């Protein structure tokens, strides 16, 4: 028996409130919903995060996410849908199995999204140009799964490349934002 929580849910070893299933994807209600109808969509084949999922599985997963989002919006009458996904503990990923949250949104939340929670960290034009070049050069052209941390990066640094501006992380107290909904 596998130890991955979401693999066990997808294989019915752990009960869930299934809302959708196809040959490669599984969707079920989140047990800690942000709103009624909050659904998780996962690939049946285990992948820890977006960096380790195969391209075909990722394509099939996106098709399932779209179908589930349509269903969630229609079933809940939501005015909008937030689709969120985190990779790694630093990004807030709790279960190490790639998954997408499909969350129905209502007017009570005043349209706040992830962009409202994370602080803006502006860069000057030179910093933006440098970051755009660095990211562009690092994107795999054939989209193979990225190697795990500690492995050699698919895009090697070239000597003399300009480093992007350093952004100082904020403490939880500095990041705290109060909402009145």
Structural contact between residues 78 and 37, judged by C-beta atoms closer than 8 angstroms: yes
- Max CA pair span of the chain: 54
**CB-based contact 87:122 (threshold 8 Å):** no
Instruction: Check: CB of residue 124 under 8 Å from CB of residue 30.
Output: no
Active site (catalytic) residues: 99
d(CA 181, CA 178): 10
Helix (H) or strand (E) holding 95: none
């Amino acid at each position: 028996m596998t130890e991955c929580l979401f693999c066990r849910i997808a294989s019915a070893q752990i009960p869930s409130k299934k809302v959708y299933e196809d040959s490669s994807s599984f969707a079920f209600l989140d047990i800690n919903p942000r709103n009624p109808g909050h659904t998780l969509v996962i690939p049946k084949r285990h992948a820890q995060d977006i960096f380790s999922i195969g391209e075909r599985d990722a394509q099939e997963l996106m098709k399932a996410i779209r179908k589930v989002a349509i269903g969630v919006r229609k079933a809940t009458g939501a005015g909008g849908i937030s689709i969120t996904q985190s990779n790694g503990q630093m990004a807030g990923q709790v279960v190490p199995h790639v998954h997408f949250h499909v969350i129905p949104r209502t007017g009570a939340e005043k349209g706040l999204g992830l962009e409202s929670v994370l602080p803006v960290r502006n860069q000057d034009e030179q910093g933006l140009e440098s970051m755009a070049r660095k990211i562009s050069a690092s994107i795999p052209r054939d989209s193979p799964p990225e190697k795990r941390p500690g492995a050699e990066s698919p895009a090697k640094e070239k000597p003399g490349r300009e480093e992007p501006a350093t952004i100082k992380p904020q403490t939880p107290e500095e990041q705290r934002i109060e909402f009145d909904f």
